[in-house]
Amino acid sequence: MKLKYIYIAFYSILMVGCEKYLEEAPDQRAVLDSPEKISELLTSAYPKANYFPFAETMSDNAGDKGAGMGSMTFINFDAWTFSDIRSRNQDTPDFFWYGSYEAIAAANRALAYIATVDDPERYQAQKGEALVARAYAHFMLAVFFANTYDRLTADTDPGIPYVTEPEEQLLLKYERKTVAYVYQMIEQDLLTGLPLLNDSKYKAPKYHFTRSAAHAFAARFYLFKKEYGKVIEHASQVFTDGDFSSRLRPINQTAFRSMEYYERQAEYTRADNPANILLVESISSWGGSFPGFRFGLTADILAELFFSRNVTGGSFAYTIFGQETSFNIPKFKTHFVRSGLNANFGYSYNMIPLFSAEEVLLNRAEALAMEGRTDEAIADLNVFASKKVFASQNNPYYYAKSHEINAAKLISFYQQPDLKYCIVNAALDFKRREYIFEGMRYLDILRHRLPVLHKTKDGQEEHLLGSNDLRRVLQIPKEVAMSGMETNPR
């Protein structure tokens, strides 16, 4: 395969220009001379860019509220119509690309320094974090900018550049190689780095790849590879005591239901919330803007997802706020940071959860079903339901005897004799609701090759994203293509 070029530029360049960046030599940006300095550098090894806005809008969670109903941006319109997104600002695929490669650059710089020290044993925890963080950023790039892993085509499907050297120039030669190669490198970094992690080295562990977070990432990674035994293995190691129940968000319990709007918003991304496994602060305005977009959660989709009965026979306990133009669940608090002490401009930030307990549990349930361990899979579904379901708004309690999921209920609800199929669909249905506004649904759409049909409210337009539609894969940034890299086909 011919060498391709990639424009590896920090996404800050989109905002302040490359000249400012180049004025400062790479070796002057920070002095690396201790494990503590490497740990400080590694706080930049997590993408400070948010994929929720475009992933959520491309999914079947987003409908059309109608002309004049809500705001509409290029991001919102283009993502909903499955067009290449014209904007390149925060919350866009381009911004996510550059933010991810900036994170990779930080990880590579840490690894390059560690390779030169005389006492590498002092740096093992930092090496582990850098490797796992590098694997994660490449994985999420591959999810969005390359074909979903398929063992039959992975050896020929174009991947994304897997960068292992710290770049000190804006233009570098890299091979795009294949999806198979990218996944091989992700797995190598992940499995090499995970045993080196040392949670005691973190002052704020929820913002770093702890062992729990690395196992959660591994479970998602192997779910994409359809290596279900490994999904179960890693998901079961996220919590050493095996207790998922006490770590799920208990939305059907009185204490939670008594919280006001902003209390719930703050609670969702608190570091001491046991559901949160890995958090990152992202440059994003999603938290303050998502309820008001024209293409988002409509009344019809709201009724389908949250007001209809489910496989338990009960009702979902999610509380929906807002009105027809702004239905939402409070999750992300936006805070504004000025670019300087006296500046009149700055950037919006959201704290977002990259991994949480609910995803891990439902990923394990799906994997258990695919392995034929249906009783265990159903048990996981019941653990989830015990925190998310109640009888009704007027009777807000979960009753294990009447709400317990079993094989008969699953087969009856999904009208399908294949129990494995029913369990997987229940896991996907639960995840769709739990992660509304977080883009998780689009990851499942990619994995299962689910079609998505978007219709305008007036019925005049339809936009279909078929199971094999080329637009499922996001387009690489223009600069990257101009530098010689083959674009994703359309």
Which contacts of 310-313 are long-range, i.e. CB under 8 A and separated by 24 or more positions? 310/389, 310/413, 310/429, 311/381, 311/405, 311/409, 311/410, 311/413, 311/414, 311/426, 311/429, 312/385, 312/389, 312/403, 312/404, 312/405, 312/409, 313/402, 313/403, 313/409
- pTM (predicted TM-score): 0.94
Residue 105 CA to residue 112 CA, distance in Å, equals: 10
Q: For residue 9, how many C-alpha atoms fall within 13 Å in the half-sphere facing its CB?
A: 23
Q: 447: burial class by Cβ within 10 Å (0-12, 13-18, 19+)?
A: middle
259: amino acid identity, one letter? M
What is the torsional sign of CA 268, 238, 228, 421? negative
Q: What's the full length of the chain, in residues? A: 490
CB-based contacts of 214, cutoff 8 Å, min separation 6: 132, 190, 193, 194, 197
In a domain, 348, yes or no: yes
Place of tokens 């279900």: 228
Residue 292 CA to residue 326 CA, distance in Å, equals: 5
In a domain, 237, yes or no: yes
Residue 443 CA to residue 369 CA, distance in Å, equals: 19
Return the structure tokens found at 478: 């223009």
**How many structural domains comprise the chain?**
1
Residue 437 CA to residue 332 CA, distance in Å, equals: 10
**What kind and span of H or E run contains 352?**
strand 346-356
The number of angstroms, rounded, from the C-alpha of 233 to the middle of its chain's C-alpha atoms is 21
Residue 458 CA to residue 2 CA, distance in Å, equals: 48
In a domain, 411, yes or no: yes
Question: What would the pLDDT profile of 301-355 be if each residue is shown by its tens digit?
Answer: 999 999 999 999 999 999 999 999 999 999 999 988 887 777 788 889 999 999 9
176: amino acid identity, one letter? R
In a domain, 490, yes or no: no
List the chain pLDDT tens, one digit each, 490 residues. 334 444 444 444 454 433 333 333 343 356 899 999 999 999 999 999 999 999 999 999 999 999 999 888 999 999 999 999 999 999 999 999 999 999 999 999 999 999 999 999 999 999 999 999 999 999 999 999 999 999 999 999 999 999 999 876 654 667 899 999 999 999 999 999 999 999 999 999 999 999 999 999 999 999 999 999 999 999 999 999 999 999 999 999 999 999 999 999 999 999 999 999 999 999 999 999 999 999 999 999 999 999 999 999 999 999 999 999 999 999 999 988 887 777 788 889 999 999 999 999 999 999 999 999 999 999 999 999 999 999 999 999 999 999 999 999 999 999 999 999 999 999 999 999 999 999 999 999 999 999 999 999 999 999 999 999 999 999 999 999 988 899 999 9
The number of angstroms, rounded, from the C-alpha of 426 to the middle of its chain's C-alpha atoms is 20
In a domain, 487, yes or no: no
Angle value at C-alpha 138, between 223 and 94, nearest 5 degrees: 115
19 lies in which domain range?
4-482
Closest listed residue to residue 257, CA positions, set 396, 106, 70, 375: 396
Residue 126 CA to residue 301 CA, distance in Å, equals: 45
In a domain, 459, yes or no: yes
Phi-psi region of 210 (alpha: psi -120 to 50; beta: other; left: phi over 0): beta
Q: Domain containing 368 — which CATH number?
A: 1.25.40.390
Question: What would the pLDDT profile of 244-261 be if each residue is shown by its tens digit?
Answer: 999 999 999 999 999 999
In a domain, 488, yes or no: no
In a domain, 489, yes or no: no
Buried b (16+ CB within 10 A) or exposed e, 16-34: eeeeeeeeeeeeeeeebee
